[in-house]
Structure 1
Amino acid sequence: MRDLTMQNVWCDCANTEEVIVGRKMNLKSERRGIHVDQSELLCKKGCGYYGNPAWQGFCSKCWREEYHKARQKQIQEDWELAERLQREEEEAYASSQSTQGAQSLTFSKFEEKKTNEKTRKVTTVKKFFTASSRAGAKKAEIQEAKAPSPAIHRQASIETDRVSKEFIEFIRTYQKPGQDIYKQCKLFLDTMSHKRDLSIEEQSECAQDFYQNVADRLQTRWKVPPEKVEKAMDEVEKYIMTRQYKYVFCPETTDDEKKDLAVQKRIRALHWVTPQMLCVPVSEEIPEVSDMVVKAITDIIEMDSKRVPRDKLACITKCSKHIFNAIKITKNEPASADDFLPTLIYICCAVAFIEKLDAQSLNLSQEDFDRFMTGQTSPKKQESDSFSPDVCLGVKQMCKSLDLLSQLNERQERIVSEAKKLEKDLIDWTDGITKEVEDIVEKYPLEIKPKSQALAAIDSENVENDKLPPPLQPQVYAG
């Protein structure tokens, strides 16, 4: 929920950078890119402050006023609509009971079921837009209709368990203040579990109030030093946001997923946009720059897997550092805001730029822009050896990689063929050696004759001692 506040700060910084970009582009007509008028950045209500695209062009103060008025008006209109629909359904149901008595039993049951479902839907709408004086009854009905089963509620992910254990280990170092922090966090989570029907803005306000109360409680009651309070609040935010992640990021009550799909479709349609069209001062032909660009893209993609706002901001910070390093290596000088903004747009495809991108922004004719968007033609559909200088370096690298893969595939096929041939030669050689050995054994069989029993007595009378040489002739000694 602190993520929403930091997102607004990020949008304000991006708007300030767009003002600088707009001024520089007015002074340099030959430079192509984003053209932003000063009047378009101010609040639509004319208060003099800068507006924010996320707040429909209003500043933060005017947006709260307009949002409160619009919400009250919407609640009143929905309440009137719910009452009118309920009256119409009751009248239709009464008339159907009087005029359709002769119909079959199956159709009557179907009509009754359909009417009950519609009535239940109308009642649900009325419960959602009921005034705060009926909050108690509404809370009980919403819990009955929307509360998850105990088994699903108790189920926790591995990451949630890990963060919970780390949080408990951390607050143990604070002793009594830590016990108070844990008690307040459990109470807040239990309270928010009964406020699932609130909007994201209202849940964000509740979270901000909770953070402020905990910080004040640590400072005033427990006299905790400011540096330890800041560290404790970081851990509290990490624990709270990890537990509340599935309820505050893309919940079912919002159309965030539809917006994401629309932006994704728009980005895919703009796949033909090159860095030269955006005046991106980055040369991906330099290996170090290419590595920095890949790391920046990886950091942006990794941000979606983070649950804590602090971790998401860390991903954006790392991405920005990689962008600055890539620009510095390319230009051999420190990067400026005019260089950073178009590069960031090229890396992460800013939503506001993608939604408002037109042919004039890319210095193209409307006919060419329409053909590129519909997919009839594309500037990247060229041979790998005949690329123009304006073609994206990524396309060139892709074609080179495809050529290398083709060559690698051919080499692999040759290696496999040679390996099979070698295997066949080894089998033939083994069979030949075996056959030669069998032929030799068959031609020259080995016969082992039994040994003859020779006389072992050297001094026996049967042995011819005269035939022995003198040194070996036995001598008789008198005993």
Structure 2
Amino acid sequence: MTAGRKIFKHCKAFTESLVGKRYMGADEMSERVQDFYQHLSEHLETQFNCSSDHAQDVMDDVEKYVMTRLYRSVFCSETSDDEKKDLAIKKRIKDLHWVTTEMLCSPLDEEILEVSDHVFKAIIDLTEMELKQVPKNKLQCMTSCSKHVFNAIKAKTKKTVSADDFLPTLIYIVLKTNPPRLISNIQYIIRFGNSRKSMSGEDDYYFTTLCCVVTFIENLDAQSLNLTSEQFELYMSDHAPSHWPKTNGASSSSGSAALSEVHTRLIQLQELEERQACVMENASLMKSDLIDWTDELEMQDLFSTTVIGSASQSAIDSDIIEKELLPQPLQP
């Protein structure tokens, strides 16, 4: 048996032993998966004499196979409080919709087309993280998002981007996006990513920064935005006076061709969904009418057959028919 076949059988047996075990705690499941990664990685280097790079390439495929099979069982597990935290951070971000780049001291200027284009791409990457099933692919979405953030800042400042510019800008992007199941995605990467590969280099830096952003948002207060407590509470309650600086989201969206196009497409998509729902409703009515019509035809055929049969029988027994036209009865 080839080495690849042996590894595949080993991975298949491991996933089959865990598929559907929703009762197992998230931490226990994570420990088993990480142990499997560790043992298989050592096995590749000792038993199959794989180079470090080759072994890591194999482990990338192993992670993809294992986590695609286990995704439904382990992502946002019922045994964890991930869903509760997802709802809490989503509400928190929604309540902070008024936060501007100026409040965060971010150098972004979305009136610049190149800047708004990178902002739009960063939002897309952050949103697409939810669609990926493999931890490595989720991490790549975060890395791609962060690179677009860097490019957005460079398009405005025309100089090297510092951490003091990057962090507040990433905070703004997360607030602007309000990505779905943010905590679940972060925990999924931590628990089930092949840590020897995924948590290294720039991926590690960007992911760690994202975790810091979430912590900042959870603990954000008036002092974080250089506001008084009164101002902060009024903003949070949507009762801030009109003369106070407001969010620049509306103006930048109107001035940004990319975001305007997205807004237009979202409206078109909503219209298409409404039309599709109408078409489906009409199709359902047509189907119902067709069934009723078919049943009516069947009833008419049955009724016609009954009437014809009854008429024939009564004609034979009728006195109207001349008896001399009838044949002579048979004699025994």
Tell me how far apart the structure 2 counterparts of residues 247 and 194 of structure 1 sit (CA, whole Å). 6
Of the three residues 248, 269, 279, the one matched with 1:393 is: 248
AA matched with 1:393:
N
1:337-352 to structure 2, matched below 5 A, reads 337-349=163-175, 350-352=213-215
Tell me how far apart the structure 2 counterparts of residues 398 and 329 of structure 1 sit (CA, whole Å). 17
1:105-147 Cα deviation digits (max 9, x unpaired): xxxxxxxxxxxxxxxxxxxxxxxxxxxxxxxxxxxxxxxxxxx
Deviation at 1:370, TM superposition (A): 1.3
AA matched with 1:227:
D
AA matched with 2:226:
N
- Structure 1 contact 295–322 (Cα < 8 Å) conserved: yes
Tell me what 1:235 maps to: 61
Deviation at 1:224, TM superposition (A): 2.6
Of the three residues 153, 157, 164, the one matched with 1:331 is: 157
Say if 1:262 and 1:194 are closer, same or farther in 2 by CA, change over 3 A: closer
AA matched with 1:362:
L
Tell me how far apart the structure 1 counterparts of residues 139 and 133 of structure 2 sit (CA, whole Å). 11
- Structure 1 contact 272–378 (Cα < 8 Å) conserved: no
Q: Which has the larger radius of gyration?
A: 1
Deviation at 1:253, TM superposition (A): 1.7
Tell me how far apart the structure 2 counterparts of residues 232 and 395 of structure 1 sit (CA, whole Å). 48
Mark the runs of 5 or more structure 2 residues left unpaired by the alignment: 176-212, 265-332
AA matched with 2:94:
R
Tell me what 1:375 maps to: 238
Tell me what 1:280 maps to: 106
Mark the runs of 5 or more structure 1 residues left unpaired by the alignment: 1-174, 383-387, 409-479
Of the three residues 219, 222, 229, the one matched with 1:356 is: 219
Number of residue-to-residue matches in the alignment: 222
Deviation at 1:358, TM superposition (A): 0.9
SS at match of 1:280: coil
AA matched with 2:105:
C
- Structure 2 contact 20–73 (Cα < 8 Å) conserved: no
* Structure 2 residue 137 is matched with structure 1 residue 311: yes
Tell me what 1:58 maps to: none
Alpha carbon RMSD of aligned pairs, Å? 2.4
Tell me what 1:245 maps to: 71
- Structure 2 contact 45–55 (Cα < 8 Å) conserved: yes
- Structure 1 contact 285–393 (Cα < 8 Å) conserved: no
AA matched with 1:369:
F
1:227-285 Cα deviation digits (max 9, x unpaired): 22111110000011111111221012222112111111111111111110000011111
TM-score normalised by L of structure 1: 0.44
AA matched with 1:358:
D
SS at match of 1:277: helix
TM-score normalised by L of structure 2: 0.62
- Structure 1 contact 177–218 (Cα < 8 Å) conserved: no
1:178-201 Cα deviation digits (max 9, x unpaired): 111111112211222375433222
1:421-477 Cα deviation digits (max 9, x unpaired): xxxxxxxxxxxxxxxxxxxxxxxxxxxxxxxxxxxxxxxxxxxxxxxxxxxxxxxxx
Deviation at 1:398, TM superposition (A): 4.4
1:393-432 to structure 2, matched below 5 A, reads 393-398=248-253
Deviation at 1:400, TM superposition (A): 6.5
Tell me what 1:266 maps to: 92
Tell me how far apart the structure 2 counterparts of residues 302 and 378 of structure 1 sit (CA, whole Å). 36
Deviation at 1:306, TM superposition (A): 0.7
Tell me how far apart the structure 2 counterparts of residues 340 and 298 of structure 1 sit (CA, whole Å). 18
AA matched with 1:365:
T
Identical residues among aligned pairs (%): 50
Q: Which moved more, 1:293-302 or 1:357-366?
A: 357-366
Tell me how far apart the structure 1 counterparts of residues 20 and 233 of structure 2 sit (CA, whole Å). 49
Say if 1:355 and 1:199 are closer, same or farther in 2 by CA, change over 3 A: same
Say if 1:343 and 1:194 are closer, same or farther in 2 by CA, change over 3 A: closer
Greater relative contact order (Cα 8 A, min sep 6): structure 1 or 2? 2
Tell me how far apart the structure 1 counterparts of residues 224 and 48 of structure 2 sit (CA, whole Å). 57
SS at match of 2:102: coil
- Structure 1 contact 324–335 (Cα < 8 Å) conserved: yes
Tell me what 1:50 maps to: none
Tell me how far apart the structure 2 counterparts of residues 304 and 277 of structure 1 sit (CA, whole Å). 28
Of the three residues 41, 44, 47, the one matched with 1:218 is: 44
Tell me how far apart the structure 1 counterparts of residues 13 and 254 of structure 2 sit (CA, whole Å). 58
Tell me what 2:30 maps to: 204
